[in-house]
Chains A and B, each alone.
Chain A
Amino acid sequence: MRTLPIYGTMAEFASAQDLVVAARRTHEAGYRKIDAYSPFPVEELADAIGFHKNNVALVTLIGAIIGGLSGYLMQYWIAVISYPVNVGGRPYHSWPAFIIVTFEMTILFGAIFAVFGMLALNGLPMPYHPVFNVPRFVLASKDRFFLIVFASDPKYDVVDTRQFLQGLEPRSISEVPS
């Protein structure tokens, strides 16, 4: 990433409604490198900033398939190949008995992939981030809503972008130092 003295321009709003409207307008105005921050999940917000698809479900599916397959194959390998125990001539490949552990492994790996996949895709843990430089940003985890246009956006200009955001009637506006 280019190193810029400024990371972006941030506007503060008082309600989820205002933020969604502002985010939509910003996106419509042609800004693409934007993000919005809210103290609770707002369903419409991701759409408003043009983020429509996430890959968490795919990652979870991959994890679940890996878990299920490895669970079953492990039991097959143990019971048939590595350590066969002959109990009155019963079949070694007694698959109904293997279903439960296969199921549990599917759930376990699916869940682990869902959580760590989500964190990895989000780029967390990341204790430091330039947005934390804005003093009022502590309210993003309480009752305030923020919209940022990143300086890396091709349309970004310190003065113009500030003016544009001013037009959305925010509570406050500030430049984010990088």
Chain B
Amino acid sequence: MPDHRDEVGVASEAANKVANERAPVIEPGHTFATVTDKISSIVLTRPTSNGWIVGFGAAFLVTMMLLYALGYLFLRGVGIWGINIPIGWGFAIVNFVWWIGIGHAGTLISAILLLLRQSWRNSINRFAEAMTLFAVACAGIFPGVHTGRPWLDYWMFPYPNTMNYWPQFRSPLMWDVFAVSTYFTVSLLFWFIGLIPDLATLRDRSENKFARISYGLLAMGWRGSARHWARYETAYLLLAGLATPLVLSVHTVVSFDFAVGIVPGWHTTIFPPYFVAGAIYSGFAMVLMLAIPIRKIYGLEDFITDRHLQNSAKVMLATGWIVAYGYGVEAFMGWYGGNRYDQTLLWNRLHGPYAFLYSMLLVCNIFIPQLLWVRKMRTNPVWLFLISFVILIGMWLERFVIIVLSLSRDFLTSSWGMYYPTRWDWMTFIGTIGMFLTAMFLFVRILPMISIFEIRQLLPEAEVKPE
């Protein structure tokens, strides 16, 4: 486990030199006890507020709408959606790529920033990981139902069967099955092992018998032994090392679904890096959209400080430029490659029937986020929230443009067509947002949303001086 305390020490010295240049990772004055009380009391003693009940209820109703839309889909088939020839991949795949991209920020924060010894990650990794898990769960619905026949999904798994067939492992769609299911499993393990010591804290502190038994079962008898911690730290670090290439591979594999195809607009080598950058871009936007209201409502400004907001904004700025570079290369290759189909695609993006969405996408993903260069924007929660919202819309539009616009006009003029989503498409999409929020509401109510033991590590009193 990297030693976070050194870095905090360096940061505080630097802060002394350049008077309050950077906000601290934790506000001063906290001890092990105050940190523990503050975070665990949100779950254990804080009464369930009316705001929570209303928010949860609303999100739950939207989730019911999702189930209704899916139920009707299973009854009637994909004809209720707007898809048809030539656009066979509509909202389902757009939403799949969008949701799975959002998940990437959680793994980036928990794994990559851990390996890079970025101690500020300790206060946002827990709920960012939860966000990953719920976003991947939402994403997973779409490939499962997009054929309208979810009862045949098990055909994707290689197992000996009486039909005497095996999956085709040369297909990117099979790679996707393995990448996404591995990603979900590893994210769940990572999140759960991070929770074990905090579950033990909740077990020891809850007054109520039911809570004590539930947390106790989940904590599995964790007692904080030095031997256990040593193995725990090794396992945690190894998981971070495994999750880092994994997260980079997931959106790469998702981009192969397109890049391996021959459709103009899909068949490009820039896709893997630019998909990964876009994923982290939208993921950090979602992290901010969750962190800003949560820290306000639960009074967690001491742990999620302006430093976290600023750093997240900087990550968005950097990945936003990688995405912008991707758009630039796509356009340049379309023009310079001399392929008439690619040139037609470029013309279509700029002047075709979906040109409005393409320009919206440029505005949302490239122009508006440049506001983040301004320090005042990076420290102002309201502006950050709004910019993050714009980025999430922009990234959704990007996926729409890549999938729908490319399919709408391919090689033969006679097979051109348009795609119009139906109300069922919208209900399914909005329904998954409801499901995501329902899960988040439950998460902040029953589990510690900030990693308590990792915050303890950041405190100056955790320091052990060499003898």
A137 to B185, CA, bound (A): 34
Which residues of A13-48 have CB atoms within 8 Å of chain B's CB atoms?
A: 15-17, 20-21, 23-24, 35-46, 48
Shortest CB-to-CB span from B206 to chain A, Å, is 11
Asked if B461 and A15 make an inter-chain contact with CB atoms under 8 angstroms apart, the answer reads: yes
Please report which residues of chain B, range 229-273, place their CB below 8 angstroms from some CB of chain A when the two chains form the complex: 229-235, 238-239, 242-243, 245-246, 249, 253, 256
Q: Which residues of A contact B33 (CB under 8 A)?
A: 142-143
Chain B CB within 8 A of A112 CB: yes
Question: Of A100-108, A152-160, A166-174, which binds chain B?
Answer: A100-108
Determine the distance from Cα of A158 to Cα of B246 in the docked complex, in whole angstroms: 52
* 8 Å CB interface, A95-146 against B: 97-98, 100-101, 103-105, 107-108, 110-112, 114-115, 117-119, 121-122, 124-129, 131-132, 137-143
Contact B185 A17 (CB under 8 A): no
Closest Cβ neighbor of B5 among chain A residues? A43
Chain A contributes a number of interface residues (CB within 8 A of B) equal to 69
On whether the beta carbons of B234 and A57 are closer than 8 Å, the reply is: yes
Pick the contact of B231: A48, A54, A85 (CB < 8 A): A54
User: What chain A residues lie within 8 Å of B253 (beta carbons)?
Assistant: 100
User: Are the C-beta atoms of A17 and B465 separated by less than 8 Å?
Assistant: yes
Q: CA A38 – CA B193 in complex, angstroms?
A: 17
B204 at the interface (CB under 8 A from A): yes
Digitize B158-189: 1 where CB-to-A-CB distance is under 8 Å, 0 elsewhere: 10000011111110001100110010011001
In order of increasing CB-CB distance, the 5 nearest A-B pairs are A125-B220, A143-B32, A118-B235, A46-B230, A126-B221
Between A and B, 29 residue pairs with Cβ closer than 8 Å are A35-B226, A37-B223, A37-B225, A39-B201, A40-B454, A40-B462, A41-B1, A41-B229, A45-B226, A45-B229, A57-B234, A74-B158, A78-B158, A83-B165, A97-B170, A100-B253, A104-B182, A107-B246, A114-B235, A114-B242, A115-B189, A118-B231, A125-B220, A127-B217, A132-B223, A138-B205, A141-B222, A142-B32, A143-B32
Q: Tell me whether chain A's interface is mostly helix, strand or loop, or mixed.
A: helix
Count contacts between A and B, CB distance < 8 Å.
203
Specify which chain A residues have a CB less than 8 angstroms from the CB of B453 in the assembled complex: 39-41
Out of B174, B229, B239, name the residue touching A114 (CB < 8 Å): B239
B35 to chain A, nearest CB (A): 9
